[in-house]
Chains A and B, each alone.
With several copies, the nearest count.
Chain A
Amino acid sequence: MTAIATEPITMARALNQALADALAEDERVLVFGEDVGKLGGVFRITDGLAARFGDARVFDTPLAEAGIVGTAIGMAMNGLRPVVEMQFDAFAYPAFEQITSHLAKLRNRTRGRIELPVVIRIPYGGGIGGVEHHSDSSEAYFVHTAGLRVVTPGTPADAYDLLRAAIDCPDPVIFFEPKRRYWAKSSDPLTTGTPVDRAVVRRPGADVTLIAYGPMVATALEAAGEADVDVEVIDLRSLAPFDDATVCDSVRRTGRAVVVHEAPGFLGYGAEVAARVTEQCFHYLHAPVARVTGFDIPYPPPMLEEHHLPNVDRILDAIERLQWDDTVEFPDA
C-alpha cells in the first residue's frame, strides 16, 4: 500500500508511518520493546501506535533485551510477526546470543520449517552528542552471521519503503536506523516496492563510485556535490546480502571506488566491500578501493565525536588519493 506525503516529513515520521501501515494491514504484526508504548519510544518512532492499535499489539516489555528477542522468536514460531526495538545500538548486545544462535539459525536448523519473520529495529551511529554506548555503529557484528538480513535506510522515503519490505520479509531482518538522520526531512512520496536486497544509485556519475549506507548517504551526496570529479553515489540499503551487481557494474564503469561508514575501519563493513569489489573488478581498478571510516577506537565522548566521524573533507581527500596521476600512494590503514 502507498501513502503519499503531502508535505515534507522526517525519517522518524516515515518509520512511524511504516509501522502504522504494517499494523493496520496485517494483524499478525506486533510492536514491542522498552518504552515503545505510552512514551512512543525515546525517539518517538512508535508514537501513537499503542493508543491506535491497543496494548495487546503495541506494548512495553520488562527491561531485558535477550528477553525481548527471545520472546519474539517464540511468538514468530507461533505465527506472529514481531517488530521489536532495541533502544540504542549498544543495548542490543545483551541479545547477541539469541540473535546469533537462534534468530539467524532456526530456519536452517529446522530445514525451513520454522520461519522467523522478526524485525529488530536498532537506532545506530553517532552525531547526536550521545554519551558512551549511545552512538555505536554495530552493523559488522550482525552482517557476518549467515541467516540474518541487515538493512539500513539513507533517506526518509526509503525508511518507509525498506521498513515495510523488512516487515514483509520471511527472513529475520536487523533494521538499522541512522538516528542522526531521524529529523532529516524530505517530501518524496512514501511508496513500497524496492526489493529489500537491492542497492540504489542515488546520484549517477562517471569518474568514481562512492559507496555509502545509512547515516553516510547524505554525507556522501554532499561530498559528491563538492567534488571536482563526477561522482556516482550508491546507497547500499542492504548490507547483507550485498548487491554485487549494482555496485560492480558501477565500479567497472568508473574504475575507482570509495566506501564510507562511521564504524571503525578494522573489519568494518567497508572491508568486505573493498575485498569483494576488488575480487570482481580488479582489472578495472586504477587504485585500491579507499575506505573512509571511523578510527579504530571506542566511540568518542560527545565533545570529541566530530573528529571521529567521516565527513565531506575526508571523503574528498580519499577521492583525491585515488591515483588520478597513477603515482603510487598508500592510504593510511
Chain B
Amino acid sequence: MSTVATPRQQFSRDLLPSDEPLQLIAPSGEAAPGAHLPPDDVLVDLYRRMVLGRRFDAQATALTKQGRLAVYPSSHGQEACEVGAVAALRPQDWLFPTYRDSMAIVARGVDPVDTLGLLRGDWHLGYDPYVHHVAPQCTPLATNTLHAVGLGHAARLKGEDTVALVMLGDGGTSEGDTHEALNFAGVWKAPVVFLVQNNGYAISVPLAKQNAAPSLAHKGIGYGVASMLIDGNDPAMVYAAVQSAVAAARAGEGPTLIEAITYRIEAHTNADDASRYRDQDEVLQWLARDPIDRLERYLIARGLLDASARDHVAVEAEAAASSLRERMNADPKLDPAELFEHVYAEPTAALRRQAATLSGELAQ
C-alpha cells in the first residue's frame, strides 16, 4: 500500500507523484534499508512534539465537552502531518492552517490558549499572526491557498527568503480556489508548499465521491507543479518531503504539491456523528497505523528513546495539558466595545454612534 522512498523519489521534482505513497519508516517501525532519514535529534524532537500535540488535542476535546470551546475539530491520527510539516519550517516561513490544524499551530510555538481563541469564541483569533508567522485558521475551504501564494510571491518580489506552507484537506481540493492557487503558483514559480492532508473524508463524504483521479497529487502536473504522494502517518516522511519542498522553493524551483495519506480518527468535530457514515472497523485499522507508535518503535529499536525519556515526555505533556485546562477554565474577559474597533483603521461615525448605543444599553 506504500513504497519505500528512494533518495531519488524523496527529493523528486517530478510533476507526477509515485504510484504508491512514499514511506521512510514502515508501520512496524522499521526503516527501509538505504532510506534517507532525517537526523536522529530531529526524529526524537518529532516524537516529543507529536506526543505533546496529541495530548493537546485530547485536552481540547475534553474542554469542548465541558463547554469551554464552541466546537473542536480534532486532528487525532494526523499528528505526523501536523507536527512533521511544521517542524520542517524555518522561523521566517509562514504557516497557513485550517480549522483542523490547531495542533500544527501549537507545534509552531503559539500558546495553546491563544491557539484556541477562534474555537473558544471570545474572538475570531487568539494570536498575532506576525509573531510566529501563522495566518488565521481558515474556515472557508481552500481560500487561504491563494493567500499563501500571494504572500510567497510578495516575499520574492521583496527579495525575502520566505516560504509559505498552506494546509488543506481532501475535500478542499475540490474548490475552485485550490485550482487557481496551484495555477498562480505554477506560473509565478511562487515559494509555496501545498500540503493536502487526505484523511479520507470531507465531513461525511468519502474520497471516492470527491475525486476520481489516481491521487490528489496528480493534480500538480496540470499546473506544472512538482508533486509528491506520501504516507501521511510517517512523520519522518512528512518532515523529509516538506523539508525538500521548502528547500526547492528557496532555490527558486517553485511550488510543490504534497498529498499525505492519513486518517481522521475522531468525528469531523464534536458536533458530528461519524457512525452515520463509516464503520468502526475502518477506524480500528487506522489506529493500527498510528503515527506516534510507529516512530516510537523506531526510536526504541534504534536506542534513541528509552522508558525514562518516554515518561519524561508524557509528564511534560500532562503538565502542558493541565496548564491549558486551568487557563481555559478561567472565563475570558470580554469587551463588547471591541466589536466596533477593528472593522476599519478608524471607526466610522456610524460605528461610533452604534458603539455608543450599545454601551448605553449595557450601562442600564
Q: Which positions in A face B, CB cutoff 8 Å? A: 30, 34-35, 37-40, 42, 56, 60-64, 66-67, 69-80, 90-91, 93-94, 97-98, 101-102, 106-115, 129-134, 146-147, 149, 169-171, 197, 241-242, 244-245, 266, 295-298, 300-304, 307-308, 313-314, 332-333
Contacts and interface: CB of A to CB of B under 8 A. Distances in A.
Nearest to B147: A74
- The CB with the most chain A CB atoms within 10 A, among B121, B175, B343, is that of B343
Contacts of A98: 143, 146, 177
B149 A296 contact: no
B277 A39 contact: yes
A66 B180 contact: yes
B349 A63 contact: no
- The CB with the most chain B CB atoms within 10 A, among A62, A78, A332, is that of A62
B140 A91 contact: yes
Given A63-B205, A197-B348, A301-B121, 8 more contacts: A67-B184, A74-B154, A75-B157, A77-B150, A111-B338, A134-B139, A149-B344, A303-B121
- The CB with the most chain B CB atoms within 10 A, among A110, A130, A298, A332, is that of A110
Contact of B146 (A34, A39, A66): A66
A216 B280 CA distance: 42
Contact of B176 (A64, A78, A90): A64
Interface residues of B, number: 79
B31 interface: no
21 contacts: A62-B184, A62-B209, A67-B174, A67-B176, A67-B177, A71-B150, A74-B146, A77-B154, A94-B177, A109-B124, A112-B342, A115-B345, A129-B70, A131-B70, A131-B118, A146-B343, A149-B344, A296-B351, A307-B339, A314-B361, A332-B357
A149 B271 CA distance: 33
Interface stretch (B5-13, B103-111, B128-136): B128-136
A89 B65 CA distance: 26
A40 B349 contact: no
A166 to B, nearest CB: 13
B62 interface: no
Contacts of B162: 78
A97 B180 contact: no
Nearest to B160: A78
A169 B349 CA distance: 17
Contacts of A97: 140, 143, 177
Contacts of B187: 62
B177 A108 contact: no
A34 B180 CA distance: 14
B152 interface: yes
A131 B332 contact: no
A88 to B, nearest CB: 9
Contact of A131 (B71, B157, B172, B357): B71
Nearest to B146: A70
Contact of A70 (B143, B211, B353): B143
B254 interface: no
A77 B135 contact: yes
A297 B343 contact: yes
Interface of B: 70-71, 99, 118-125, 128-130, 135-136, 139-141, 143, 145-155, 157-158, 162, 164, 171-172, 174-177, 180-181, 183-184, 187, 202-205, 209-211, 271-272, 276-277, 332, 334, 336, 338-345, 348-351, 353-354, 356-358, 361-362
Nearest to A128: B70
B128 A113 contact: yes
A107 B175 contact: no
A242 B351 CA distance: 11
Contact of B349 (A129, A241, A303): A241
A110 B136 contact: yes
B348 A241 contact: yes
B158 A78 contact: yes
3 tightest A-B CB contacts, nearest first: A74-B150, A70-B146, A302-B121
Contact of A64 (B118, B148, B174): B174
Contact of A67 (B146, B211, B350, B356): B146
A93 B140 CA distance: 10
A146 B341 CA distance: 12
Contact of A114 (B129, B180, B272, B351): B129
A114 B128 CA distance: 9
Contacts of A71: 146-147, 149-150, 153, 181, 184
B154 A75 contact: yes
Contacts of A332: 353-354, 356-357
Contact of A35 (B153, B155, B205, B342): B205
